[in-house]
Homo-oligomer: A and B are copies of this chain.
Amino acid sequence: MLKSSPIEFHAFEKRNRAALINSLSGFKSANLLGTMDSKNRTNLTVVSSAFHLGADPALLGVIFRPHSVPRHGLENLLETKVFTLNHINSSILKAAHQCAARYPKDVSEFEATGLTPLFKEGFKAPYVGESLIQLGLEVAQHIPLEINGTEMIIAEIKHLYAPQECLQQDGYLDIEKAQSLSLSGLDSYHKTQRIERLSYAKPGSWPRPLDS
């Protein structure tokens, strides 16, 4: 049986500390962020930092690391004001992870990894053809976070492509059925297995499983 004890992470060496701290928020989303610059050069990068911000308007946040590392995706979306998010699924795991490599700006991660760029409805950023859940977003706000030099992009979801079979009657999208993966730490990819959906919590009654 597991028991918790204090972990003195302040004394950890830099890389080990990064691996540890990245594990602490819990499971993370796993997306490929697609952009194209004004010279029509496409870029794909792995983001584990996309998070829900609001349903109406439909807003997401994405965090980008400080300027000390190349961030072609961020540069492109600030230039064109649009980008895509594409759920990473098991069938493209290695190719998706490879998009985190530091390719020069004139090398497209689509070509380097074999993933398929898809352009739809005149949207100026490429979707990932192999991804089953694809979002087209417009940049709404750019907030540099002075506390550590990261940058937050707030974006509005304008387009959504997903399998009709994954959409449930009450609006819930079954991303597990679409084989979307979850990330933990810097490099660990996980399949999921639903325990249950639980009813809306109210004082005085106990949650019950929803049919799904």
> Does residue A122 face the partner (Cβ distance < 8 Å to B)?
no
Which range holds the interface residue count of chain A? 35 or more
Q: Quick check: B161 and A5 within 8 Å, CB to CB?
A: yes
Q: Quick check: B182 and A55 within 8 Å, CB to CB?
A: no
What residue in chain B is nearest A168 (Cβ atoms)?
A: B19
Contacts A16-B170, A172-B23 given; indicate if A6 touches B99 (C-beta within 8 A): no
**In whole angstroms, how far apart are the Cα atoms of A153 and B148 in the complex?**
14
Q: Quick check: A27 and B201 within 8 Å, CB to CB?
A: no
Q: Quick check: A112 and B184 within 8 Å, CB to CB?
A: no
**In whole angstroms, how far apart are the Cα atoms of A181 and B190 in the complex?**
11
Q: Quick check: B19 and A166 within 8 Å, CB to CB?
A: no
> Does residue A108 face the partner (Cβ distance < 8 Å to B)?
no
> Does residue A40 face the partner (Cβ distance < 8 Å to B)?
no
Which of A50, A60, A143, A162 counts the most chain B CB atoms within 10 A? A162
User: CB-CB contacts of A197-210 with B at 8 A, as 1s and 0s?
Assistant: 11111110011001
Q: Quick check: A30 and B27 within 8 Å, CB to CB?
A: yes
What secondary structure prevails in chain A residues at the interface with B?
A: mixed
The residue from B94, B141, B177, B188 contacting A147, defined by CB atoms under 8 A apart? B141
Q: Taking the nearest CB of chain B, how far is it from the CB of A175, in angstroms?
A: 5
> Does residue A52 face the partner (Cβ distance < 8 Å to B)?
yes
Q: Taking the nearest CB of chain B, how far is it from the CB of A9, in angstroms?
A: 6
User: CB-CB contacts of A152-166 with B at 8 A, as 1s and 0s?
Assistant: 001001011111111
Q: Quick check: B56 and A14 within 8 Å, CB to CB?
A: yes
Q: Quick check: A190 and B189 within 8 Å, CB to CB?
A: no
Q: Quick check: A188 and B184 within 8 Å, CB to CB?
A: no
> Does residue A38 face the partner (Cβ distance < 8 Å to B)?
no
> Does residue A68 face the partner (Cβ distance < 8 Å to B)?
no
Given A25-B51, A187-B200, 10 more A-B residue pairs with CB atoms under 8 Å apart are A5-B164, A9-B58, A21-B52, A24-B58, A26-B180, A48-B52, A49-B52, A94-B206, A102-B203, A185-B197
Q: Can you sample 22 A-B contacts with CB below 8 Å?
A: A2-B166, A4-B132, A19-B170, A21-B55, A22-B52, A24-B52, A26-B31, A26-B50, A27-B27, A27-B180, A27-B181, A51-B51, A53-B150, A54-B147, A112-B203, A172-B186, A175-B184, A176-B188, A185-B197, A190-B195, A191-B192, A193-B193
